[in-house]
Amino acid sequence: WSAQQSKPLHIQLGEWADILLIAPLTANTLAKLTHGLADNLLTNTVLASVCPVLLAPAMNTDMWQQSAVQRNWQMMMADDRYHALPPGSGRLACDRVGTGRMSEPAEIVAHITSLFHTQGHRDLLGKHLLISAGSTREHLDPVRFIGNPATGRMGVALAIAAQHRGATVTLVHGPLSSDVASTIAANIQSIAVTTAAEMEQAMLSHLALADWVIMAAAVADVRPTTTAASKLAKQDLPSQLPLEFVPDIVAQLVHRKASNQKKGQKIVGFAAQTGEIVAPAVAKLQRKQLDAIVANPVDLPNSGFGSTHNEAVILSADGRKVNVAHTSKLLLAHRLYDFLLADASA
């Protein structure tokens, strides 16, 4: 024995770690964690730590589907300390195609980012969130449409952040690029639409169960009064295009909110602006009778449509205001949830 002796390695690692990631998580390690066994450095470190643990299983499909493995998995998920990245489907190490593929690195990094922000707290557990994302398309003919550059990245980030914090999420989205669509977790209910009318129908049909509704979609404001069934030849295109307004989805949501029985329901809007962003957002907040609004610029470098980052000013109906400096859209989503939770606890 020596007073200068360093701590055992598993104690050092357990005290040092802010988050533990086990990726890939094997059936063997899962069983050991379930029963509190500590026969190697990894399992000893888990027991010697108190930080959140993120589990990303990877194994053969038949192994994953075994009742013993599923039972162990459900036991781990009942422990608040453990956070899940369930396996996806794809080609496995055994050259089979099926469920058991480890989550993609980008998904793992996103969940770690969320855990650092929340410290592992599931503060949206029990809440249902209804979120819209992306653009809508209003077709002139099958190949031409009125739309905008929105990619859905902000709305998808909102869905991911909410799911990481324990919420049940329904995501209604317009057309998404493959890189954005691939980040949507399997346990997020995803409803694909194209037009504003389709988005309105989907949002209204899921409104009754939602605690918070977040309209992050960039809905096309107008549509052609008629849509051709087949592609118009260039010479047949009209020199003047008659337009009409699309349904005001936010107005319909607020109207329905007033008549439904969901206590404490909140509706949050987004205001994408060029130039001055706060004054137009305040006007929209008041005009639409929203509970909160996120004003964000779309004319600054590396911000707005298509970007992985953004900055914003979050405003509430009761006058609260938070400035969010340039950050990732995932962290902006978390800042919005912090803002809404602070209002709920006030």
Q: Which residues are catalytic?
A: 94
d(C-alpha 134, C-alpha 247), whole Å: 16
d(C-alpha 226, C-alpha 341), whole Å: 44
CB 93 within 8 A of CB 64: no
CA angle 142, 146, 149 (to 5 degrees): 115
Q: If phi over 0 gives left and psi between -120 and 50 gives alpha, with beta otherwise, what is residue 343?
A: alpha
CB 334 within 8 A of CB 266: no
Q: Which residues pair with 101 in a beta bridge?
A: 88
Task: Report residue 95: phi and psi, to 5°.
Answer: 70, 20
Residue 172, CB-side half-sphere exposure with 13 Å CA sphere: 29
Q: Tell me how far CA of residue 298 lies from CA of 271, 302, 315, 319, in angstroms.
A: 10, 9, 18, 24
Alpha helices in the chain (DSSP H): 9-16, 27-34, 41-47, 61-64, 67-77, 105-118, 153-164, 178-181, 196-205, 249-259, 278-288, 329-345
Q: Tell me how far CA of residue 294 lies from CA of 5, 142, 168, 313, in angstroms.
A: 54, 33, 22, 6
